């Protein structure tokens, strides 16, 4: 049973074999760090050029006054709401050039519908105490509905009872 043959032991070349493995690991780590750095730079700094090129809307000359409407609130109260829509300069330019009906008066029914949907059934204290917050929400919804053609909204009447 002593006839077991020993396998020849691998020859250890010392620093050369160990150094080659460490060098490969160092190169891989360096490439990984560079890739992560490039990715971070791309995500953090590449969008900054677009923000500077973004067009800031300007107020135009078209102002549409929407007739006041009484909106039922919760608890039998109501809100009489009147508003005006200030359209953007881009709308003015497009309307004069044949877009948006070739200079026709804009329609305020979308804005009125959004206002009724937002305020209907709201509690009287919410409508009285959160006027500016509700206006900001209404304004954002109207701007989206008019595809950015509305610059700002103004309350012309805001009476609760």
92-110 tens-digit pLDDT: 888 775 444 455 688 999 9
What pLDDT is attached to residue 127? 92
Give CA–CA dist 84/70, Å, rounded. Answer: 16
Considering 38-42, 90-94, 97-101, 151-155, the range whose residues carry the highest mean pLDDT is 151-155
Query: The pTM is what?
Result: 0.62
- What pLDDT was estimated at residue 52? 55
Q: What Cα–Cα distance (Å) separates residue 78 from each residue in 3, 65, 107, 123?
A: 105, 21, 25, 10
For residue 50, pLDDT beyond 60? no
pLDDT of residue 48: 53
Q: Is the pLDDT score of 81 beyond 90?
A: yes
């Amino acid at each position: 049973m002593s006839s077991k043959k020993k396998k020849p032991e691998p020859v250890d070349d010392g620093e050369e074999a160990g150094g080659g493995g460490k060098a490969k690991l160092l190169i891989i780590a360096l490439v990984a760090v560079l890739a992560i750095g490039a990715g971070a730079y791309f995500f953090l700094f590449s969008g900054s050029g677009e923000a500077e090129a973004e067009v800031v809307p300007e107020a135009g000359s078209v102002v549409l006054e929407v007739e006041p409407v009484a909106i039922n609130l919760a608890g039998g109260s109501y809100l009489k709401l009147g508003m005006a829509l200030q359209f953007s300069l881009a709308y003015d330019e497009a309307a004069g050039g044949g877009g948006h009906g070739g200079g026709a008066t804009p329609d305020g029914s979308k804005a009125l519908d959004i206002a009724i949907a937002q305020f209907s059934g709201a509690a009287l204290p919410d409508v009285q105490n959160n006027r500016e917050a509700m206006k900001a929400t209404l304004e954002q919804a109207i701007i989206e509905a008019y595809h950015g053609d509305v610059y700002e909204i103004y309350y012309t009447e805001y009476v609760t009872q």
